[in-house]
Amino acid sequence: MKILVAVKRVIDYNVQIRVKEDGTGIVTDNIKMSTNPPDDNAIEEAVKIKEAGTEIEVVAVTVGEDKAQETVRKALAVGADRGIHVKVDGIVEPLAVAKILQKIVDNEKPDLVFLGKQAIDDDCNQTGQMLSALLNWPQATFASKINIKDNKLEVIREIDEGLETIEVNLPAIVTCDLRLNEPRYASLPNIMKAKKKPIEEFTAIDLGVDVTPRVQQIKVEEPPKRKAGIKVSSVAELVQKLKNEAKVI
């Protein structure tokens, strides 16, 4: 069995995001970058399946600038077998990423593709579903539990109303929720070993995918700030304010 896992390099989730003064983008110089958090869950799940079975290969793929290769290297350090880096500069929209991943799937022929459910930079929540559409494969999105049985996958999905269980035939796409598992940290020896694992490089042009954005970013800005409130000194005062001033209770 082969599992392909897509990972994205994003600004670390603990970094306070700042907008460039001219409104053309986000400040990224000297900012800490990390793997998109739910993509860590995707890698973890693939590695867990590999450890529980035999003859399972895990391939990590990323699409992005030169430094995006760090996310593939990290995936290799926690247990992926080899990597693929599709080099693209600038903003790549989910549709373009899905088209690139489709080409990689055509080459690699995996049984499963795991992705994070959403990237915490553009918050689009699209790539996995788009890839499923392009491949005409089943999609199991927002997965919080998965169970492989024979040639099928049973998935528990997180939905607004609670939980939903579906069963999909392989090959299939799974997008991972943060609650799917607890990602491990890479050990130092494994980080060293990962440096020797192979990473294959392509460009979008090699794969014949046009990545020209279709959605123009006109400007970015900070949202309007809430005006500072007041501190109240007692519960009684709080309740009086809520009733008589804010009139919400």
Q: Enumerate residues 110-139 that contact another protein by CB under 8 A.
A: 118, 120-134, 137-139
What residue type is assigned to position 163 of the chain?
A: L
Interface with another protein (CB under 8 A), residue from 46, 68, 95, 113? 95
Instruction: Write the DSSP assignment of 9-76 as a string of letters.
Output: EEE-TTSPP-B-TTSSSB--TT--EEE-HHHHHHHHHHHHHHHHSSS-EEEEEEEESGGGHHHHHHHH
For the CB of residue 50, give the shortest distance to another protein in the complex, in Å. 24
For the CB of residue 74, give the shortest distance to another protein in the complex, in Å. 21
Distances (CA, A) of 180 to 23, 143, 183, 208: 37, 6, 9, 34
Interface with another protein (CB under 8 A), residue from 22, 109, 160, 189? 160
For the CB of residue 67, give the shortest distance to another protein in the complex, in Å. 19
What residue type is assigned to position 189 of the chain?
A: P
User: Please, which residues have CB within 8 angstroms of residue 180's CB and are 6 or more apart in sequence?
Assistant: 41, 44, 45, 143, 144, 145, 146
Interface with another protein (CB under 8 A), residue from 64, 79, 94, 183? 94
Q: Enumerate residues 13-52 that contact another protein by CB under 8 A.
A: 13-14, 16-17, 19, 26, 38
Nearer to another protein, 58 or 156 (CB): 156
Nearer to another protein, 67 or 226 (CB): 226
For the CB of residue 182, give the shortest distance to another protein in the complex, in Å. 9
Interface with another protein includes 236 (CB under 8 A)? yes
For the CB of residue 249, give the shortest distance to another protein in the complex, in Å. 6
Count residues contacting another protein (CB under 8 A)? 81
For the CB of residue 146, give the shortest distance to another protein in the complex, in Å. 13
User: Please, which residues have CB within 8 angstroms of residue 33's CB and are 6 or more apart in sequence?
Assistant: 9, 10, 11, 12, 67, 70
**DSSP state letter for 200:** E
Nearer to another protein, 169 or 187 (CB): 169
Q: Enumerate residues 168-227 that contact another protein by CB under 8 A.
A: 168-169, 172, 177-179, 213-223, 226
Q: Are the CB atoms for 7 and 42 separated by under 8 Å?
A: yes
Q: Are the CB atoms for 31 and 11 separated by under 8 Å?
A: yes
Q: How far apart are CA 180 and CA 249, in angstroms?
A: 39
Interface with another protein (CB under 8 A), residue from 31, 192, 205, 238? 238
Q: How far apart are CA 148 and CA 49, in angstroms?
A: 9
For the CB of residue 130, give the shortest distance to another protein in the complex, in Å. 4
